[in-house]
Amino acid sequence: MTSAGDVLELVRSGRASTRSELRRLTGLSRTAVVARVSALAEAGLLLVGEELASTGGRPPGSILFHKDAGVVLAAAIGRSRSQLAVFDLMGDELGSASVDHEVGAGPDAVMPPVAEHLCRLLDETAAARTVLAVGVSLPGTVDPVRGVSVDSPVMGGWDGADLAPYLEEIGAAPLYVGNDADVLARSERLGHAARFRDLLVVKASTGLGLGIIAEGRVVSGHLGGAGEIGHTKVDAAEGRPCRCGDTGCLETLAGGWALVSRLSESGQPVDHVRDLVALAQTGDPEAKQLLRESGRQLGEVLAVAINLLNPQAVVLGGDMAAAFDVYAAGVRESVYARASALATRDLQFLPSTFGDRAGLVGCASMALDQVLNPAAVDARLLERHDVPATT
């Protein structure tokens, strides 16, 4: 039976804006639609009737998702920088900040300033709004049920660490934690996935990761480890020590950290992959060559994933993809040489929809999906002792 949560999803997605449209789409009776809409309005999730009189001359029977009924917070935790933002319930950014920290610092060093800046952003942009959820992304494998990192080769001290206590000042909002590449893929559900239901989303930054969207759904794998492409063993890297503690990983050749080390050894003043990309964008031949070669090496492994999954498009995101033309040229070269003709026949290579904001957008999308999905909305209504969600 169509619940109140299902009704909210129809309005939030723009498929319905009146009670009559809801009746047509759901087959519910007039009484049932009124009951569900009333429960959602009382919970502050819908604006109806007279409340819309001042929102552009909409007719009295109109229904509108109340995007200002609350906010979600996003924190994309990186190896040396964390990006933070506040979003309304439609996923529009209200304010943002960033926090630099020591490379590979643990949660005791990173999370207190993250919490402080999030509280400050709330005061500046949404002081009177309820925080419905917090979305956090971390490098490495994440257990989404426990909401913790379980295998991060670059963030010592994070595995198994409970992050919720660090965010107590924000309130009782639930915390959702995701892998950084999966979160990048989630951002594309608001971008390229509107056109393509099957995507591979590359995060090419300090490390290398892969997010997978299959039939519109982000696929994380059995233990949350799907897409750990950077730690695939490749013959050309045999014997090279990786930051994960193993040897022979693709990252030792193509990861941003390896490129920065190589460029630094040649005398270039670079500390981060963003410095390397900036050099490439100003035409530095060595930096451009390193990025293109990284793309080629990634493409050799990516071609296998393309043959297996047959995506419609590959999205290139992360710091290295900021030099899209150079990096994508290397990726294409290997993919077209190694993947099957069928898998590459219609394949497109696309830049990330949201650029360097993709991690934040993905964190917000993850949080919104959790708190505004029909089951969560129905549970919220029942907790309020409103009209039962399926009455």
Residue in this structure with the two tokens 């809801």, named with its chain if needed = 22
The yes-or-no verdict on residue 328 having pLDDT over 60 is yes
pLDDT (average), residues 311-315? 97
Q: Is residue 277 part of a domain?
A: yes
Burial class of residue 68, CB neighbours in 10 A (0-12, 13-18, 19+): middle
pLDDT attached to residue 317: 95
Q: Are residues 108 and 240 in the same domain?
A: no
Q: How many structural domains comprise the chain?
A: 3
Residue 239 three-state SS: coil
pLDDT attached to residue 268: 85
Q: Are residues 173 and 273 in the same domain?
A: no
Q: Are residues 20 and 62 in the same domain?
A: yes
Band of residue 51 on the pLDDT scale cut at 50, 70, 90? low
Residue in this structure with the two tokens 């040489």, named with its chain if needed = 337
Residue 182 three-state SS: helix
Half-sphere exposure at residue 119, Cβ-oriented, CA atoms within 13 angstroms: 12
Band of residue 102 on the pLDDT scale cut at 50, 70, 90? confident
CATH number, domain containing residue 196:
3.30.420.40
Do the Cβ atoms of 119 and 168 come closer than 8 Å?
Answer: no
The yes-or-no verdict on residue 145 having pLDDT over 70 is yes
Q: Report d(CA 132, CA 141) in Å as an integer.
A: 25
For the stretch 336-379, pLDDT in tens is 999 999 999 999 999 999 999 999 999 999 999 999 999 999 99
Do the Cβ atoms of 180 and 83 come closer than 8 Å?
Answer: no
Q: What secondary structure letter does DSSP report for 120?
A: H
In DSSP terms, 247 is beta-bridged to 241
Is pTM, for the whole model, over 0.95? no
- Residue 31: Cβ within 10 Å count: 9
pLDDT (average), residues 141-159? 78
User: Which helix (DSSP H) or strand (DSSP E) does residue 366 occupy?
Assistant: helix 358-372
Give CA 240 to chain center in angstroms.
31
Final residue of a structural domain among 66, 86, 106? 66
Q: Which two tokens stand for residue 325?
A: 């033309």
For the stretch 272-304, pLDDT in tens is 899 999 999 999 999 999 999 999 999 999 999
For the stretch 243-259, pLDDT in tens is 888 999 999 999 999 99
More confident residue, 224 or 112: 112
Q: Are residues 215 and 139 in the same domain?
A: no
Final residue of a structural domain among 66, 101, 120? 66
Nearest CA among 68, 66, 28 for reference residue 48: 66
Q: Which segment of 49-63, 187-201, 246-260, 344-358 scores lowest on mean pLDDT? A: 49-63
Domain that holds residue 127: 71-181+359-372
pLDDT attached to residue 303: 98
Q: Is residue 382 part of a domain?
A: no
Q: Are residues 102 and 20 in the same domain?
A: no
Share of the chain above pLDDT 90, in %: 72
Q: Are residues 152 and 108 in the same domain?
A: yes
CATH number, domain containing residue 9:
1.10.10
